[in-house]
Structure 1
């Protein structure tokens, strides 16, 4: 009787990481072979099963959104990364990237979070684009407490440390890139990050 040899999840994550970083299926298979041998068809099947756009679980109870943004370098360009985390669980609730930073982008980011998790108070660092966006969406807004500031800054630095190495090893060389590979990689990162938090708990 044949028994299927299941691939450990850490290797699946690593294979997805390599693929979403911009490598082809065959190149991903070659890089992964240093750890475990899997052909490009197997990796293609992992990609089909993984849904990088889904990073939320609506069953989660949210007390408030802690929101911030930071500047990232992607290839030769800079882009804004928007992050929302839950104050209680410390999980990343949402990520978004944009070429601009203004009230309209902030409003769109917050409206997507409200759509997924409902209305909750919003804590920010005092950026002028947040109060008007919250007022438009009828969300309670306040500035970060020292605890919230520390929490979001550590999360942002954690993300930046990993995106910097991502850009070092997999720089974007496409002109007018739509950043789809970056979004996929970030969603994979969030999925892995949140699962690690749940595992620790």
Structure 2
């Protein structure tokens, strides 16, 4: 509930019907959880498969940008934006490069990717059918879970900055990456 945007006190009030816990207890749970920064395990990455999809959160449409590593299907990066263009693609890719280094980028052929890759000095190619299958399944999985999250924990704030969605995606990616067993 806290990761959905509620304060610690509001989360404790909502939980009080099931568990009698105060806001300090919830804070302690969060400290014990310690979600890690979205990262693949330390191994050589050969390429990034990158895609974006439009999703409705509340009454707003936002873009979810995802990068996965094809060998073990771990989510390397996940972010949201209100627009889809070359500048946002470049910022997303530069964050990945900062964390994992320069590697081949595989995309679906969106016009914003080749230019962003050129600016960053990255090699770019269009998805193979296998890569397309991997990223589309991952995107649908993320999209379904995020829409369910929004159904159960809708945001009612005006001019919401969607921080609760970003927190949810970080938590989701952490869970997803821990659930997947690395390929040796």
TM-score > 0.5, shorter chain as reference? yes
Where does the alignment leave 5 or more consecutive residues of structure 1 unmatched? 1-17
1:34 deviation in Å?
7.5
CA deviation string 1:52-85 (max 9, x = no partner): 5721257232110000000011111111100000
1:41 deviation in Å?
1.4
Q: How many residues align?
A: 184
SS in 2 for 1:79: strand
CA deviation string 1:21-55 (max 9, x = no partner): 13333453465577766543121023245555721
CA deviation string 1:86-108 (max 9, x = no partner): 01110000001111100000000
| 1:97 is aligned to 2:69 | no
| 1:44 is aligned to 2:27 | yes
| 1:160 is aligned to 2:147 | no
What are the residue-to-residue correspondences of 1:112-131 with 2, within 5 Å?
112-131=95-114
Flag the 1:36–1:61 CA change in 2: closer, same or farther, 3 A: farther
- TM-score when normalising by structure 2: 0.90
Q: Is the 8 A contact 2:5 2:163 kept in 1?
A: no
Q: Is the 8 A contact 1:52 1:184 kept in 2?
A: no
Q: Distance in 2 between matches of 1:87 and 1:199?
A: 11
SS in 2 for 1:142: strand
| 1:170 is aligned to 2:141 | no
What are the residue-to-residue correspondences of 1:10-21 with 2, within 5 Å?
18-21=1-4
Partner of 2:127: 144
| 1:189 is aligned to 2:172 | yes
Flag the 1:19–1:200 CA change in 2: closer, same or farther, 3 A: farther
2:57 maps to which of 74, 83, 106: 74
Where does the alignment leave 5 or more consecutive residues of structure 2 unmatched? none
Instruction: Supply the RMSD in Å over aligned alpha carbons.
Output: 2.3
Flag the 1:76–1:22 CA change in 2: closer, same or farther, 3 A: same
Moved over 3 A (4+): 26-39, 48-53
Partner of 2:46: 63
